[in-house]
Structure 1
C-alpha cells in the first residue's frame, strides 16, 4: 500500500476500475463528465441499400433499395389462341331417308345427321355394313371398366368383321383415350374415326381421305 492511501480510497479505486467492465450492461456506469451510458442516444443503424433517413410521415418497407419488377400488360405478351374448328359443308340425306344393311334390315337415323351421311356413303360404295349398338368393355389403368360404342360394322364376303367405324361430331381427348385403350385391348380389330372433316372428304372423293381403304 502506498503512503497516504487508506483502505477506503483503495476500495473506491477498485470500484472505479471494475465498474468499467460492468458498464456495458449496468445502468449506473458513468463515462467522462458524469454522463451515464443509458442517457446516450442509440447508435444509428442503416441498411446497405438505404443511405437516407426516412422523411417525416413515411413508413419503412423492407427492400426499399430494390426496384419493383416491371408489370407486363396482357396486350403486350403473346396470347395462345384456341384452335378453330374447321367449318365443312355436308350434304345430308333427309331425316326420313331409309338405309338397308347387308341383311336387308331397314335403318333410319333421324336423330343423327352424321350417321345418315355415313350410311349413305357406305351404301353407295357397296360396302357390307351393319349398325349395331354393341358396347366394347374397356378398362382403365386403375382397373375401372368403361364402354366404347362403335356405330358401323363392316364385313367381308365371309361374314368377318374387317372394320369398325365410330362417328363423332368432333375429336376430343376423352374419345382418343378410349380409342387408345381399345387399340391396346382389342388389337385384332381395325377401326376408323369418322369426323365431319372425314365425311366431307369422302363425299367429295378428293385426296387420300376421300377413298375407302377397305
Structure 2
C-alpha cells in the first residue's frame, strides 16, 4: 500500500481528501502544519506528498525547498490559482506535478496512480537494466544517476525522464510519448511540465560538467545523444 502525506492547512479539505484516498487504496497521513510536515518527511518514508501552495505558516514553495534539501519523494503541488507562474516555480523547485484548485478528485487520483506506476516501472528497470553514457551512470540498486561517483540531485520524475531518454539513446522521443511515459498523461497544448523537467535535468547534468547530451527537435521531442 502506497503511503501518502497531505500537507494543507485546510482541515475540512484534508479530512475529505484523506477519506477519498483511503477508499481508493492509499494509506494517508495528514499534516495541517508545514513545519510539522517537514519533520515527518524526515522521519517517515512516503511514496507521494500532496502539497498545498497557499499556507500561512510557510508557503508551499518554501516547504518544497526544505523537503528537497533532504528528500526526492514525489511531490504534487496543489495550486490555488493554477497560474503559469505558480506552476513553473513549483516545477523549478522540484515538484513532480501540479494540479489547480478546485480539482476533480478523480483527476488527482489519476495523477497519483501515474506516479505509483512509475515507481513500479523503475523497480522493474532496476532488476534488468544497466545504463552508462557520456560519464552518466545509472545505479540500479538505489535509483541514482552518478557522474564521476557523485550523485546527480534528481527528483524521481527527473530520474525517470533521464532513464527513458538514455534507454533510447540516439532516437527521437516525441513529447507525446514522454508525457505519457513520464507524467502519465497525454500532452496538452499549454502544459509546460515536460519542458520544465527536461530543463531541470539539463541544468543538473551541467552542474557536473555534462552538457549538450539532450537535444531538442523543435516541435517534435527530445534526443539523448548516443555520440557527441
TM-score w.r.t. the length of structure 1 is 0.26
Quick one: higher RCO (CA 8 Å, sep 6+), 1 or 2?
A: 2
Higher-Rg member (1/2): 1
Higher helix share: 2
Higher strand share: 2
TM-score w.r.t. the length of structure 2 is 0.25
